[in-house]
């Protein structure tokens, strides 16, 4: 696992480290402790001037165009360096579609002529920020929460869990509450649906809402709620966010659906799928990352939910675990995995493991663990990686 002795062995210019999330892209230089920018993952379409989410692509050509404009924006508005001079480290999710990574490589090599490209899995490099080799990585981003256990440096891939229980769901539920009469409080301040756009809902969520405790959530109808907040829309109109809305906004992540799935059950289900002798160590090494993990009260609520669920009939016999412990990563939740990429990018791994421009132009192929050619045949794998 992490070999810190090799940090900064490379004497060349620092590599560019990019993590493209479904809403936010983190971008900066290897060896630095925070990204230079965290920007919306949106590209401006030149003809219409309209901004489009990168992940909303229709086909390969559409994606190629979006990435072309977006990478230009990152290099020439934020990084201010020439793409040709530097290596690139891409922090990617293991669930990233092959089409996306291949198109990104095409844009970076063909159009921007970067020196080399290294794809690193976000859950593994997050562990580099801790110097640990065992953890259950829980990434709560915008579209989904992904749980992946890593034991002694090896990903327990069969145990991964992913569900759309993250920022987007919280915002959707919050918008519903704001629209409902009882949620919006006094009717004079009741806004029209179109006046609350996505950005406003996100702002209300981050600035006024929090994750309540398990005890309070169980009697949410009876308790005295915190005071309401007046949120200003365009300076003159106000929208009243009442205490109950503020306190119950994140409940959708913890309420079990018809399949009895919530964020805490995802963690326990992932542990259940891991080998028996690894479960205790994994439960005592939980790493919670992603923007949604930064919500006030999230970690303490998760801990009490886990302690409560472990005694429920579904888990009590199968998972005899006593304690759960969380790691404290050295960065804000939303860029822990980017920081891991920045650490890897400052080691000699970026030289020895990267795919260089020349090799890519010859092979026209990107090494991928899901491709059997790179998993089975040592010689083939060796041929693609070295050079």
Listing DSSP states for 50-65 in one string gives -EEEGGG--SHHHHHH
Does residue 202 touch ligand ATP according to CB under 6 A?
A: yes
Shortest Cβ 19–Mg ion spacing (Å): 7
Q: Is 155 helix (H, G, I), strand (E, B) or coil?
A: strand
Distance between CA atoms of residues 332 and 320, nearest Å:
32
We find the least distance from the C-beta atom of residue 254 to ligand ATP, in angstroms, to be 15
Residue in 14, 262, 265, 292 binding ligand ATP, rule: CB under 6 A = 292
C-beta closer to Mg ion: residue 141 or 345:
141
**Considering the rule CB under 6 A, would residue 161 count as an interface residue with ligand ATP?**
no
For Mg ion, which residue of 21, 149, 264, 367 counts as binding (CB under 5 A)?
A: 21
Residue 214 interacts with which of ligand ATP, Mg ion, none, CB < 5 to 8 Å by class: none
How many CB atoms within 10 Å of residue 312? 11
How far, in Å, CA of 99 to CA of 101, rounded? 6
With contact defined as beta carbons under 8 Å apart, do 297 and 210 qualify?
Answer: yes
Choose which of 206, 233, 281, 365 interacts with ligand ATP (CB under 6 A).
206
Rounded to 5°, the CA angle 88-91-95 comes to 135
Q: Closer to ligand ATP at the Cβ: 202 or 384? A: 202
Would you say 139 or 360 has its CB closer to ligand ATP? 139
Find all residues with CB under 8 Å of 11, minimum gap 6, and list them. none
Listed ranges 7-15, 46-54, 200-208, 350-358: which one lies at the site for ligand ATP (CB under 6 A): 200-208
Question: Could you say which residues in the range 9-38 bind ligand ATP, by CB under 6 A?
Answer: 21-24
Asked if 160 and 146 count as a contact pair (C-beta separation under 8 A), the reply is yes
∠ Cα 293 273 90 (to 5°)? 50
DSSP secondary structure letter of residue 53: E
Taking residues 108 to 147 in sequence order and writing x for each that binds ligand ATP by CB under 6 A, - otherwise, the string is -------------------------------x-xxxx---
Q: How far is the CB of 256 from Mg ion (least distance, A)?
A: 24
Rounded distance, CA 26 to CA 127, Å?
A: 18
Token pair, residue 319, equals 């998972």
Residue 26 near residue 335, CB atoms below 8 Å: yes
Strands 88-92 and 116-121 come out as parallel
> Could you tell which of Mg ion, ligand ATP, none binds residue 347, using a CB distance below 5 to 8 A set by kind?
none
Given ligand ATP, Mg ion, none, residue 121, with its beta carbon under 5 to 8 Å by kind, binds none
Using CB atoms within 10 Å of the CB of residue 143, give its burial: 0 to 12 exposed, 13 to 18 middle, 19+ buried: middle
Quote the longest CA-to-CA distance of the chain: 72
Give 115 or 289: the residue with its C-beta nearer to ligand ATP.
289
* 3-class DSSP assignment, residue 15: coil
Stretch that binds Mg ion, among 141-149, 180-188, 297-305, 352-360 (CB under 5 A): 141-149
How many C-beta atoms surround the C-beta of residue 172 within 10 A?
A: 13
Structural tokens at position 49 = 């001037």
Instruction: Give the 3-state secondary structure percentages of the chain, helix then strand then coil, rounded to 5.
Output: 45, 15, 40
Told to check if 167 binds Mg ion by CB under 5 A, we report no
Q: Quick one: which of 28, 121, 141, 367 contacts Mg ion (CB under 5 A)? A: 141
Across the strands, what pairs with 259?
none
367 is a contact residue toward Mg ion (CB under 5 A):
no
Instruction: State the nearest-atom distance from the C-beta of 246 to ligand ATP, in Å.
Output: 13
- Decide whether 93 or 116 has the Cβ nearer to Mg ion: 93
* Strand stretches in 212-370, DSSP E: 229-233, 237-241, 286-289, 355-356
295 touches ligand ATP (CB under 6 A): yes
Instruction: Answer with the entry of Mg ion, ligand ATP, none that 202 interacts with (C-beta below 5 to 8 A by kind).
Output: ligand ATP
173 binds, among ligand ATP, Mg ion, none (CB under 5 to 8 A by kind): none
Q: Is 333 near Mg ion (CB under 5 A)?
A: no
334 belongs to the binding site for ligand ATP (CB under 6 A): yes
Which one, 141 or 264, has the nearer CB to ligand ATP? 141
Binding footprint of ligand ATP on the chain (CB under 6 A):
21-24, 139, 141-144, 166-167, 202, 205-206, 290-292, 294-295, 334
Binding footprint of Mg ion on the chain (CB under 5 A):
21, 141
């Amino acid at each position: 696992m992490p070999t810190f002795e090799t940090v900064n062995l490379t004497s060349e210019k620092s590599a560019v480290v990019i993590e493209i999330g479904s809403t936010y892209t983190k971008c900066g230089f290897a060896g630095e402790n925070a990204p230079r920018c965290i920007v919306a993952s949106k590209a401006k379409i030149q003809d219409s001037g309209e901004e489009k989410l990168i992940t909303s692509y229709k086909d390969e050509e559409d994606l190629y165009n979006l990435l072309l404009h977006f990478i230009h924006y990152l290099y020439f508005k934020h990084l201010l360096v020439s793409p040709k001079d530097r290596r690139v480290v891409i922090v990617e999710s293991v669930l990233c579609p092959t089409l996306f990574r291949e198109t990104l490589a095409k844009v970076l090599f063909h159009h921007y002529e970067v020196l080399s490209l290294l794809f690193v899995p976000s859950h593994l490099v997050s562990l580099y920020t801790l110097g640990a080799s065992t953890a259950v990585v829980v990434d709560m981003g915008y579209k989904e929460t992904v749980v992946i256990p890593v034991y002694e440096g090896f990903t327990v891939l069969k145990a991964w869990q992913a569900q759309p229980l993250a920022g987007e769901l919280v915002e959707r539920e919050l918008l519903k509450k704001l629209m409902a009469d009882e949620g919006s409080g006094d009717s004079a301040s009741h806004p029209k649906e179109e006046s609350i756009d996505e950005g406003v809902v996100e702002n209300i969520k981050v600035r006024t809402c929090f994750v309540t405790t398990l005890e309070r959530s169980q009697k949410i109808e009876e308790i005295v709620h915190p005071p309401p907040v007046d949120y200003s829309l365009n300076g003159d109109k106000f929208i009243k966010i009442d205490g109950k809305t503020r306190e119950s906004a994140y409940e959708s992540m913890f309420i079990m659906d018809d399949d009895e799935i919530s964020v805490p059950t995802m963690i326990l289900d992932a542990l259940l799928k891991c080998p028996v002798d690894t479960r205790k160590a994994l439960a005592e090494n939980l790493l919670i990352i992603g923007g949604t993990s930064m919500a006030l009260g999230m970690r303490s609520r998760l801990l009490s939910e886990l302690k409560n669920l472990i005694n429920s009939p579904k888990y009590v016999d199968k998972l005899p675990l006593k304690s759960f412990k969380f790691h404290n990563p050295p960065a804000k939740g939303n860029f822990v995995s980017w920081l891991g990429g920045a650490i890897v990018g400052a080691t000699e791994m970026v030289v020895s493991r990267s795919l260089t421009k020349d090799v890519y132009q010859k092979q026209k192929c990107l090494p991928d663990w899901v491709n059997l050619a790179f998993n089975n045949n040592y010689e083939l794998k060796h041929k693609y990686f070295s050079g």
